[in-house]
Structure 1
Amino acid sequence: MTLIGAPPQVTTDQHARLERATAALTAPFACVDVDAFDANATDLARRAAGMPIRVASKSIRVRALVARALDHSPAFRGILALTLPEALWLAESGSTDIVVGYPSADLPALARLVRTGADVTVMVDDVEQLDLIARAGATRRNPVRVCLELDVSLRLFGGRVHLGVRRSPLHTPAQVVALAEEVLRRPELRLVGLMGYEAQIAGLGNRIAGRPIFSALIRGMQRVSAPELEERRTETVDRVRALTPLEFVNGGGTGSIETTRKAPNVTEVSAGSGLFAPGLFDAYTAFRPTPAAFFALPVVRRPAPGMVTALGGGYTASGPLRPDRLPIPTYPRGLRFDPLEGPGEAQTPLRGRAADALRIGDRVWLRHAKAGELCERFERVHLVSGDRVVDEVPTYRGEGQCFL
């Protein structure tokens, strides 16, 4: 019942290591293979080829692992946060150079930002958002750093076809320039950056198992989208820089590093999911990260030959209701969901030849379809290196934080 199969990097050796390392733990639990995490960080840096990588914290949601990525190499610089409260919390704990990837309508949080002067940049794409910042108390003496977001989706046939996510309303260079001019008229604001997230390239797998024609269509769309975006983003950046200097121009994601880093005027890329390598990243042609984040469920029933039932497991990913949003049964190899039940809140039946070798109390290992969402299900994550647990660290949830 899953469209994505485990990639070659998922090995029986990793399975054996995880089992040995966590033998004393009681499932369910989450763990991160930090050897794989570090290997993925190294590969992201290689793919970025010298361009700085801003760590997308929503794809990790574990402060210790965000710090691990930033400490990995000079390639990783700064944080791309999900919400303003998250950014302020990270700043209070010592993080710097934080950009909030989405606009905020949280007036108390904006007021805290003004009051504390935290090293946080907020995203804007509408005059009403600027008005909210003014209402929060921003002044010439306490200006708020802002970043404009360019909609980098692909629009065809006069806009009747929209390929990409629905983010900023600023699609044309003229629209971005108009808002930039408005920001510059307001002394309580400082325009420091420009962002454009090409989700139709960075966040869309183009090698989906069992769907070769659809995969080919996606690759074709991405080939059309990349040059259109390069021309439009280049003009936008040039026109905004003619008005004021910019500290950064952010683009891309784990799935588009190779193309984004070559774009004129882009100064940094963002990545986070590639460190965990969740299930959706099995469907890319340009790179193959090593799965690093897992959750283990205990086998509690053997209801029929060729079937076991695990406790819990209904950790589906956000997005459209499709099979690729389900977790990926990974270890032991050869398990699949029961098509009539799938992964459930209370139980998850699993079918396959491997089921007959499992006994009550054994574990089945799964990967979430997305990255950081896994950490909303667990208060802590066990870090595995080699064949031992080397640390246990809290998730955001384990630190009492639930931002979104």
Structure 2
Amino acid sequence: MTRTGESARQDQTGSPRGRRRRSRAATGAAAALVALLLAGTAACSSSGHAAGGSASGGSSASSGGAAAATISVTLAKDSAGNVIPDQPVKIAVRGGTLGSVTVADSKGDPVPGTLDATAGTWTPSTPFAVGVAYTLSASATATGQTGKPTTDQVPFTVETPGSSSSMLLDSITPEKGAVVGVAMPVSVVFSNPVADSARAVVEKQLKVTTSVPVTGAWHWFSSTRVDWRPESYWKSGTQVTVDADLDGVSNGNGRIGIHDYEHKFTIGSDIEAVVDAPAHTMKVTENGRLLRTLDVDTGGAGFQTWGGTMAVIDKESEVEMTSCSVGIQCNPNGPNYYDLKLPFDVHLTFSGTYVHYSSGDQDPGDSSSHGCVHLSKPDAAWFYGIVQEGDPVTVNGVPKNADPDNGYADFNLTWSQWTAPQSS
């Protein structure tokens, strides 16, 4: 059962953080950016640059009148002429040998990166940040000369892409400052699809740090959703920080990240509920100690309750439950039609599974629900009061487990399934 018009909790834009001092490239005014760089067909001194796709320059020749080396710099661009943020910068030298390459932001702070002098590339350690001005400095030694090297400085600004070219997040779950149960995954939902070819790069920028050592991994459920879960349940008291360093990162489909996001949350008490569907009971424990054994109803024939472990999505004091909203029956005269406002609702799946009290099923102890787990009103009130987001509710003795992405049923995959290579 589900409430009418229900949707997942969302954080539409996330929380932008301060600009990181990294060198990154973007889209939008790429032509203006490249206009600051010198065309490869025109060699100018380091004091001036001509428009085009690369920048060239060089100091005057050393004593003896020999020609100075000429340096040209090229930023990678896509077919629309926009700078690709995570690609190497190419530095070519004519008439000499490339020496050093450094990049600094507008404050003069160095940007980490790696120079491959043989290939003539400089690669930023993380993508260029949007809306930030940089200066690339390169040096080269002219062939046959032993005097002062040629030096060149190339200024450029990475423009912020417009909304049609921005990569944003719909949500990061859990929310900032949340206290959650031991089965709660980190779930990141993107506003637009991430290309298969970009997932490894994007995933590298999604970092999870914990106050105690935890083994965990990311798993892509779709092109717009990726979850991180520990190998086994969290330890109570663990402090978790999620850093989504997506400023300047490409999604592989023409969109560039314009924000960094940070969420911190805490793992609360180990509250676990285990439903034995054939026995019509639910045992609730806290830190391994049995608190109560409750009588329950589960789904009847044709409406079996989803099985496996489902982390609590959320809870509400009252939800309107309708048979039509979950495709059971829309005819008010049908035998399976219902439209009820019911209390003490603990949400388990996006498809509409709840643990709750039902006024149409006041004496639990059989299998007569339409898929939800029903409790008596006093038991439902007690369970509602103790349970929190992320607490695991495991249903045993039913035909089929919930799909792992139907809510937060991530633990319905084994660890080997979770970490197995995913096909494109």
> What range is the shorter-chain TM-score in?
under 0.3
Which structure has more strand as a fraction of its residues?
A: 2
Structure 2 length as normaliser, TM-score?
A: 0.27
Structure 1 length as normaliser, TM-score?
A: 0.27
Q: Which has the higher contact order (CA 8 A, sep 6+)?
A: 1
State which structure, 1 or 2, has the greater radius of gyration over its C-alpha atoms.
Answer: 2
